Amino acid sequence: MRIKQLGLFALALSLAISGAGCKKKVGAPASVVVPKPDAPPPPPPPPLAKAMITSFTAEPSTIEKGQSSSLRWATTNATKVTITPNVGDMAQMNGSRSVSPGSTTTYTLVAEGPGGSATQTATVTVNDPPPPPPTPKAAVKEDFSSVIARELADISFDYDKSDVREDARGILTRNADKLKQLFADYPTNVVTIEGHCDERGSAEYNLGLGDRRAIAAKEFLQQLGIGADRLRTVSYGKERPQCTDANEACYAKNRRGHFSGN
Amino acid sequence: MKNKSLFLFAAFAALASAQVAQTSDIVIKLIGKDKPIIAVPDLRGSGDTQAFMNAFNGTLYSDLETAGIFQMSSKSVYPLTIPQRPQDFRQPAAGDATTGLWLTGWSNPPVNATYLTFGYAGVSNSQFVLYGWLYNVKQPDLANAQMIGKTYLGSLDAAGATKVAHEFASDILKLFGVESLFGTRIFFVSNRSGNKEMWSMDFDGQNQKQVTFYKTISTMPSVSLDGSRLAFTSFLSGTPQIVVHSTETNRRLPFFNQQASLNAGMSFMPDGKRVIYSSSISGYPNLYNSDINGAGIHRLTSGRYIDVEPKINPKTGNDIVFVSGRGGPQQLYRMGIEGTDVERLTTGEGQASNPSWHPNGSHIAFSWTRGYDPGNFNVFIMDVADKQYVQLTHGAGRNENPYWAPDGRHIVFASNRSGSMQIYTMLADGTQVRQLTSRGRNEMPVWSK
């Protein structure tokens, strides 16, 4: 094999010389390089010990944010132990280290030894802490108009009348009691009393009649101690009926005093 | 029960007919009795006017018919030849009195007319030109027959032809002392925009336009006698209060409302300088007068009852008709301009409302449920001096807010006879009912110059 290579080398060399000779004159005769024989191969190195990881754990493996976990490791044959991320090179080949990751982290331990390295991972799962119990806030005040809508009942009137009926007196008395409490909680709000009519009278007369009904209810509440400055009146006549059928049940529904808060 | 109601019905019918027999002279006084016959043959046009002759002829016929002073003769009995110009008339040969080209062809049976309109249209200088004549065909000769011979100009389109027809009709009506309604306006309340707003339209329902844009409830319009101011009652400040607009600029004019939850239903004095309205400042809606800006307030009525709808006599400015609940259900009352001498006008039956003065200052139109269930109003006319009344509508739904036209012969009113509240006009004898609106709910018309 080696002889054959040499022969080929010599052939190539002679070809190169003769080829060159065809084109230009060679001033001096070429010297032939003879390679030296190879050195004998080195002896194989002695076998080296490979690093091994006996264990690498995170304890506890699940923590809540802000808590810590202990990374423990044990290696053999290691000359260098590195834990990533954020931990770094360890002095001890067996040891522990407390970590407190902000989020779930997989730690990688690399143990390097003269005969090779070993890698192992351990994961610390980080859970968000449960939301804190709601801190007791100051209660949000309910909208005055919804309170009034819920707490104050309508009153009814007889056909073409604005007198406060017996049943309406009872309702207005209860409404007045509620208003006294409510006005204490809502010191700046006012209540508007709306007067409504059924459709049978003329629109013009009903606007007057609805005004009378609202004012009659207001006067009754004033007698029960509600301040006039907390009460307003408005007549809608027959402009805003609750129902539009032409029968007494519907007419009766429309002949009403209604309370709204503002 | 059935027998009883039948009996009641018969009694009512007898009463009603007695009432009509007694009081029909109210209507005669207002719109006349014997109506002369008029022949209104279709006029022809030459050239480009031909396309607009339907508009012309329809308008002319309608205006003359609507005026209610003529009996319209049937076109089917007209002679076959119809004159177009005065020179078309020719004294007929003896015995040929039926030709349309002579007066007797129109005055004799079967037409029997007293009056004849004729003429023709043509194009001149790109305008619609009408040559129109009115003849009294009862006259023996042409020289005495002519009452109108006039040229009218309009734009060469349907609008121009319509305008020319209104003007020709207006000239004819003037000869009979009747003011044409052409050019007059009706203000009314419509909810077709989603809210009750003021709207206006021509006397015949054309050109319906939104006037206010307050987006709340605006209602109960009234208009000053000269047509320059429109007042109404609006919730734009939360409660019903009076708002005044100029009809020329459509701008809001200042008006001071009393510190009350209700200021409503304004009526103008004939001179337009003072107004009367209802205010609940005392706790009860009573009547007050003030100047046009709301200052200088005087109280006219005071009582623990409802007084609304004051209407000032437009002729004299001296008395007020109004609606009051002082005696029970709402009725019509009258009093002097300072609030004195109150008297009830309606009988106390049913509910009465919506008085409107005739321009003559002696009659009113109003709505009344007399003879019907509560809420079923009909239009009535009353001679205020003797309180005689006549009923014009008869139970076709609710008929409310009658308002006299400036001609004193027509009434505009609102009725739900078609199923929804709409505006109609009629002659003051209850005939010639015409529906002017159809979109949305339309009510409370007032007729302005």
Task: For residue A212, give the nearest of B306, B354, B400 by CB distance.
Answer: B306
| Among the listed residues A183, A162, A144, the one whose alpha carbon sits nearest the alpha carbon of residue A257 | A162
How many Cα neighbours within 13 Å face the side chain of B219? 26
Task: For residue B308, give the nearest of A160, A208, A219 by CB distance.
Answer: A208
A88: left (phi over 0), alpha (psi -120 to 50) or beta: left
Most A CBs within 10 Å: which of B191, B280, B346, as the mutation test of the A interface? Answer: B280
Strand stretches in B281-358, DSSP E: 286-291, 298-299, 307-312, 319-324, 331-336, 343-344, 352-357
Q: Find out whether B138 and B114 touch, Cβ atoms under 8 Å.
A: yes
B240 and A160 in contact by Cβ < 8 A?
no
A214 and B261 in contact by Cβ < 8 A?
yes
Task: For residue A204, give the nearest of B217, B283, B309 by CB distance.
Answer: B309
B354 and A208 in contact by Cβ < 8 A?
no
Provide the pLDDT confidence category of residue A114 given band limits of 50, 70 and 90.
Answer: confident
| Among the listed residues B363, B361, B443, B356, the one whose alpha carbon sits nearest the alpha carbon of residue B404 | B356
Which of A28-32, A243-247, B338-342, B396-400 has maximum average pLDDT?
B338-342
| Interface residues on B facing A, Cβ-Cβ cutoff 8 A | 196, 217, 219-220, 233, 238-240, 261-262, 264-265, 278, 280, 283-285, 306-309, 323, 325, 329-330, 351, 353-354, 367, 374-375, 377, 400, 443-444
What whole-number distance in Å separates Cα of residue A89 and Cα of residue B392?
112
- The pTM score is 0.75
A202 and B264 in contact by Cβ < 8 A?
no
Using the predicted structure, report yes or no on whether residue A112 has a pLDDT greater than 90: no
The two tokens of residue A232 are 């307003």
Task: For residue B330, give the nearest of A201, A211, A239 by CB distance.
Answer: A201
A160 and B329 in contact by Cβ < 8 A?
yes
A230: left (phi over 0), alpha (psi -120 to 50) or beta: alpha
Q: Find out whether B118 and B43 touch, Cβ atoms under 8 Å.
A: yes
What whole-number distance in Å separates Cα of residue B275 and Cα of residue B281?
17
Query: So what's the pLDDT on residue A115?
Result: 80
B220 and A203 in contact by Cβ < 8 A?
yes
| Among the listed residues A196, A209, A204, A205, the one whose alpha carbon sits nearest the alpha carbon of residue A238 | A196
Query: So what's the pLDDT on residue B92?
Result: 80
Name which residue leads in pLDDT, B425 or A84.
B425
User: Looking at residues A27-45, what average pLDDT do you find?
Assistant: 57
Residue pairs between chains A and B whose CB atoms are closer than 8 Å: 92
A211 and B217 in contact by Cβ < 8 A?
no
Note if the bond before A60 is cis, omega within 30 degrees.
Answer: yes
- Kindly list the residues from chain A whose CB atom is less than 8 angstroms away from the CB atom of residue B330: 160, 201-202, 205
> Exposed/middle/buried for B125, CB within 10 Å: 0-12, 13-18, 19+?
exposed
| Among the listed residues A124, A2, A153, the one whose alpha carbon sits nearest the alpha carbon of residue A65 | A124
| Among the listed residues A235, A258, A215, the one whose alpha carbon sits nearest the alpha carbon of residue B263 | A235
Instruction: Provide the residue count of chain A.
Output: 262
Task: For residue A235, give the nearest of B240, B354, B444 by CB distance.
Answer: B240
DSSP letters spanning A126-173:
EEPPPPPPPP-PPPPPPPHHHHHHHHPPPEE--TT--S--HHHHHHHH
Classify residue B387 by its DSSP letter. Answer: T
Query: So what's the pLDDT on residue B151?
Result: 96
Name which residue leads in pLDDT, B98 or A235.
A235
> Exposed/middle/buried for A262, CB within 10 Å: 0-12, 13-18, 19+?
exposed
The two tokens of residue B178 are 């009747």
pLDDT tens for chain B, 449 residues long, are 444 444 444 444 444 444 443 447 888 888 777 889 999 999 999 999 999 999 999 999 999 998 889 999 999 999 989 999 999 998 887 767 678 899 999 999 999 999 999 999 999 999 999 999 999 999 998 989 999 999 999 999 999 999 999 999 999 999 998 888 999 999 999 999 999 999 999 999 999 999 999 999 999 999 999 999 999 999 999 999 999 999 999 999 999 999 999 999 999 999 999 999 999 999 999 999 999 999 999 999 999 999 999 999 999 999 999 999 999 999 999 999 999 999 999 999 999 999 999 999 999 999 999 999 999 999 999 999 999 999 999 987 899 999 999 999 999 999 999 999 999 999 999 998 999 999 999 999 999 99
Query: So what's the pLDDT on residue B6?
Result: 44
- Kindly list the residues from chain A whose CB atom is less than 8 angstroms away from the CB atom of residue B375: 199-201, 246
What whole-number distance in Å separates Cα of residue B183 and Cα of residue B201?
10
- C-alpha dihedral (B421, B422, B427, B428), degrees to nearest 10: 30
Other beta carbons less than 10 A from residue B232's beta carbon: 28
Note if the bond before B110 is cis, omega within 30 degrees.
Answer: yes
Pairing relation of β-strands A116-127 and A62-64? parallel
- Kindly list the residues from chain A whose CB atom is less than 8 angstroms away from the CB atom of residue B217: 236, 239
A202 and B329 in contact by Cβ < 8 A?
no
| Among the listed residues B302, B202, B295, B310, the one whose alpha carbon sits nearest the alpha carbon of residue B256 | B295
Measured CA distances, A145 to A156, A191, A242, A253, A259 (Å): 21, 9, 19, 21, 9
Ranking A133-147, A215-229, B141-155, B280-294 by mean pLDDT, the lowest is A133-147
Average pLDDT, chain A: 83
Query: So what's the pLDDT on residue A119?
Result: 87
Measured CA distances, B259 to B242, B262, B275, B282, B433 (Å): 12, 9, 17, 10, 43
Long-range contacts at B326-331 (CB < 8 A, ≥ 24 apart): B329/A160, B329/B374, B330/A160, B330/A201, B330/A202, B330/A205, B330/B306
- Kindly list the residues from chain B whose CB atom is less than 8 angstroms away from the CB atom of residue A204: 220, 264-265, 308-309, 323, 353-354
Which amino acid, one-letter code, is at B172? I
Q: Who contacts B173 (Cβ-Cβ below 8 Å, separation ≥6)?
A: B63, B64, B67, B69, B179, B180
CA distance A233 to chain B (A): 6
| Among the listed residues B33, B262, B394, B313, the one whose alpha carbon sits nearest the alpha carbon of residue A208 | B262
| Interface residues on A facing B, Cβ-Cβ cutoff 8 A | 159-160, 199-205, 207-209, 211-212, 214-215, 219, 232-237, 239, 246
Q: Find out whether B164 and B186 touch, Cβ atoms under 8 Å.
A: no
Provide the pLDDT confidence category of residue A96 given band limits of 50, 70 and 90.
Answer: confident
A203 and B285 in contact by Cβ < 8 A?
no
- Kindly list the residues from chain A whose CB atom is less than 8 angstroms away from the CB atom of residue B346: none
- Kindly list the residues from chain A whose CB atom is less than 8 angstroms away from the CB atom of residue B280: 208, 211-212, 215
> Exposed/middle/buried for B447, CB within 10 Å: 0-12, 13-18, 19+?
buried
What share of chain A has pLDDT > 90, as a percent? 45
B323 and A234 in contact by Cβ < 8 A?
no
Instruction: Provide the residue count of chain B.
Output: 449
A203 and B375 in contact by Cβ < 8 A?
no
Q: Find out whether B382 and B405 touch, Cβ atoms under 8 Å.
A: no
Other beta carbons less than 10 A from residue B327's beta carbon: 12
| Among the listed residues A150, A124, A127, the one whose alpha carbon sits nearest the alpha carbon of residue A60 | A124
What whole-number distance in Å separates Cα of residue B390 and Cα of residue B65?
23
Query: CA A60, A61, A62, A66 torsion: positive or negative?
Result: positive
A207 and B233 in contact by Cβ < 8 A?
yes
Task: For residue A201, give the nearest of B351, B443, B444 by CB distance.
Answer: B351
Q: Find out whether A204 and B309 touch, Cβ atoms under 8 Å.
A: yes
CA distance A161 to chain B (A): 9
- Kindly list the residues from chain B whose CB atom is less than 8 angstroms away from the CB atom of residue A208: 262, 264, 278, 280, 285, 306-308, 325
What whole-number distance in Å separates Cα of residue B212 and Cα of residue A77?
98
